[in-house]
Amino acid sequence: MTQSIVRAIDVGYGNTKFVQFYIQGDQVACSLFPSLAPQAGSGPDLTGGVFQRRNTVQIEVEGVSYEVGRDARLAQDPSYGRVLDADYSMTDTYMALVRGAIHYMGVPHLDLLLLGLPVNTHHLHHEALATRMIGVHRIPDQSGKIVDVEVRNVRVTPQPIGAFFDYSIRNNVYGRMRNQMNLLIDPGYYTLDWVVAQGVKMVNARSGAHSGGMWAILATIGEAISKDLGHQLSDYSAIDEAIRTGSQPRFFGKQRDISSYIRLGKEKARQFVSVLANKVGNAGVNIDNIILAGGGAEFFRDVIQEKFPNHELVVTEDPVFANVRGFQLAGEQYMRTQEFNGKRAAAA
């Protein structure tokens, strides 16, 4: 009996994270590319054999070709804008990003695909998203040949739940944490998501999402820098990279110290975290563990610690991949249970 192929994809507003491969008992190998899907150009190849080609792939959705992948930012024109709304998972852009991730995986089929949605849109779209993804997807393989990749089953999870599985399973504390009250926080690109859960049983009244992720913080910082530069910035990717790497961005060919602007961003983050703290309630007195994941984890870390000073905050290892790693581990666990139940039923 061949082993089932299970893979996880976490399409965020900022980046699309996916599991490249996983061998049971080993590390989950992940990768990502920006969640950008500009329409593919039809012009001639201008590299002339001198410049490198972009690391992207052309994905067709409903008769329209999109360019997605690690260098997708180089394919966008000044008029391109990200999709930042609650119906994101129902768009052709989202489908193109999922198919792009499957291309990079290089799998012949998927027995189970794990996806995540923000807390505030999960109940609206999880069933429709699963239905939309099940079936055959026409995708270029690594050689560029168009192949059919069948997705046989799909499970859609609230994004922060992935962080629970990632931290608890990888640190061998699943048995303990499944009986404890956990606060899972995921500062993403567009939303700040959080889940309060007894194990993996969500406490809906205390969970939620706020449209206050890194995008709003970057916009606040970008507007202040634009004012001082006397030029409106339309792309905040240089600021984003500077925050993540601790470097200084370049404008007009010159480095600029943005530490004073970072303080504006922190104040914005405090406003967002106040919304979270109010919804969680009671200063989190009955919360046993606070797990922080997501691309904005390090930026939000000290601000969240201020709100929950009596807790020891845990930031997952390589937090940008925490949710997708957790989806993978949960999916593997689910498939093992299904296979065990199937064998037991056959033997009965």
pTM for this structure?
A: 0.89
Q: Which pLDDT does position 44 carry in this prediction?
A: 47
Q: What's the rounded Cα separation, in Å, for the pair 135 and 267?
A: 46
Output the CA torsion 222→223→229→230 (10° steps): 150
Mean of all residue pLDDT scores within the chain:
90
The mean per-residue pLDDT over the stretch 144-168 comes to 95
Q: Which pLDDT does position 117 carry in this prediction?
A: 94
Tokens 């930031």 locate to: 315
The mean per-residue pLDDT over the stretch 30-41 comes to 90
**Cβ distance 124 to 86 under 8 Å?**
yes
Q: Which pLDDT does position 343 carry in this prediction?
A: 78
Least confident of 191-200, 238-247, 279-288: 238-247
For the stretch 247-274, pLDDT in tens is: 899 999 999 999 999 999 999 999 999 9
Count, in order, helices (H) and strands (E) of the chain. 9, 18
- Residue 79 pLDDT exceeds 70: no
C-alpha pair distances (Å), 65 with each of 113, 140, 143, 321: 23, 12, 18, 28
**Cβ distance 203 to 119 under 8 Å?**
no
For the stretch 192-233, pLDDT in tens is: 999 999 998 999 999 999 988 999 999 999 999 999 999 998
Q: Which pLDDT does position 276 carry in this prediction?
A: 96
- 253 strand-pairing partners: none
Q: Which pLDDT does position 61 carry in this prediction?
A: 96
- Residue 45 pLDDT exceeds 60: no
**What is the set of domains in the chain, with CATH numbers?**
6-161+322-347 (3.30.420.40)
Q: Which pLDDT does position 52 carry in this prediction?
A: 55
Pairing of strands 6-11, 112-117: parallel
Q: What's the rounded Cα separation, in Å, for the pair 150 and 260?
A: 50
